[in-house]
A and B are shown apart, each in its own frame.
Chain A
Amino acid sequence: MIRQIKTLIFLLILIFFSLQKLSHAAGVPSGTVITNRVTVTYSLGGQVLQTITESSFVVDNKVIVVVTGLGNATVLPNDKDQALVFSLTNAGNTPQRYKLEAGPVFSPENIEMTNIRIYLDKDNSGTLTAGDIPYSDPSSFGDIKPDETIKLLIVADIPQDVEDGKTSTYYLLATTVDAGTTNITQQSATNTAGVDVVFADSAGINDIARDGKHSASGVFTVGSATVYIEKDAEIIYDPLSTGQIKKPNPGAILRYTLTVTVTGSAVAKGVTIKDTIPQGSEYVRNTLRLNANPLTDEDDTDSGSFKDGAIEVKLGDLNKNSPRQVITFDIKIN
């Protein structure tokens, strides 16, 4: 019992100290006065004497902002509200706000998306959801405290005519703004005894070091998949035929073969093939097969069934590397 309590206390202290460490990572807040106090003791004429002095200086505003790309997006033609995910951290020692801009990273291959918007990903879902807050100006998301990180989304609509595999790279640029205002933060021209502003940020994808800005990029990739079905028919029995030549006479049995393949860079999810039995014929029971394996006609645990005048086979998720799926079934001509 005592041991368990000791372990619990140890763990709590450990958590407390690691949290403490996190909260001080951005450093001493700007405006803090650092005072040095020096005491000199000495002996003179048999007496012990003392003299004391103090000197102070003020900690400046060290501006550091970090924008990081957190996730790309695979999109389909005509999709709406597709999101690229970013984080923004105030790694400086003073509360700040940020002006945000999103734009395409130019290259001849880049396809342009439409209706570009920036949102605060309030529920941290990585997608545009009802509670997310749109950006209109630096005051939209309020002041960001030292060490605080917010999640942001670049949201876009995908045009209709875009090819599978094409990409579109977008950057998110954050420019430091004075807390409580919409004024871009300026680096102090001269050093004063008060709080001066120093830019200490790194270069991002679309900005330079020590400019009070940082940027990162994300990529939209058009990833579509197309399902191809090739259908062949073979007369396997003709009651009126005597030799090689078979014809689709009444009573003849036809075997249909459906070959299913997928092209494109995406996964075709939940591929289900349904084929209606043609009028003037009927399905020959228990002839449904997938890749030569028999499937029951009943709607049960296997992937095939015959109901409402159609065969249905569930093939699951397929992509371009999946083996060809071959479905066969027989019909009898009335």
Chain B
Amino acid sequence: MLSKRVLSMFLVLAFILVGIAYAADVEVKSVAEVEIKVKNEKGEFETRRIDAAKANVGPGDEVIFSNYYVNNGDQPVTDVVILNPVPMHTVYVDGSAGGEFAKVEFSVDGGKTFGTPETLKVKDKNGRERIARAEDYTHIRWVITKPVAPKETGVVYFKAKIK
């Protein structure tokens, strides 16, 4: 009995150690920003982005979420998929998701299945099926369509509106 427990603990420890050795290869950083209009030196209005934590963000405001990823390892990585649940208290802004070399898909069933907008269906309150709308999306994911080389960086992004 005791040796079985020791063995499973050892395996868990070994897995963590192995995990640590590889987990640092791809790093991701998520940034939330809002766009503000400021007057430049010429007196013209231009849009700038500032950190949401440092800006005024209230109900109805749009926040730009940018996920920056980098391959810090010395080997290319493949099948990169970035998964981002639509944050609680926000609604996805239709058509706002994008990123280079990324195929964007959404889920309306809590992340179980994904598809492109025209394939997503939900049931309305009468039980009738209809095409899902932005406010029905529960998750966004970007499937990176090519391997990510060592030191290569990329960014995927979307907008969400505070409820």
* Residue ranges of A at the interface with B (Cβ–Cβ < 8 Å): 10, 13-14, 17, 24, 26-28, 30, 32, 34-45, 47-62, 93, 188, 191-193, 196, 198, 200
Contacts and interface: CB of A to CB of B under 8 A. Distances in A.
Contacts of A44: 22, 25, 73, 75, 77-78
Interface in B16-68: 19, 22-23, 25-32, 51-60, 63, 65, 67
A59 B79 contact: no
A58 B61 CA distance: 13
Contact of B56 (A10, A13, A40, A196): A196
A159 to B, nearest CB: 46
Interface stretch (B6-14, B86-94, B115-123): B86-94
Interface residues of B, number: 45
Interface string B141-155: 000000010000000
B87 A34 contact: yes
B82 interface: yes
Contact of A39 (B29, B83, B90): B83
Nearest to A45: B75
A43 B32 contact: no
Contact of A54 (B30, B58, B89, B90): B30
A275 to B, nearest CB: 69
Contact of A30 (B58, B73, B84): B58
A43 to B, nearest CB: 4
A26 B59 contact: yes
Nearest to B76: A44
Main secondary structure of the interface of A (DSSP, over half): strand
A43 B57 contact: no
Given A13-B125, A28-B59, A193 B53 contact: yes
B162 A17 contact: no
18 contacts: A24-B163, A34-B88, A37-B30, A37-B84, A37-B85, A38-B28, A40-B81, A42-B79, A44-B75, A44-B77, A47-B22, A49-B26, A53-B30, A54-B30, A57-B51, A62-B58, A188-B56, A191-B54
A191 B162 contact: no
B144 to A, nearest CB: 8
Contact of A38 (B58, B83, B148): B83
Contacts of A36: 30, 32, 65, 84, 87
A196 B52 CA distance: 12
A220 to B, nearest CB: 37
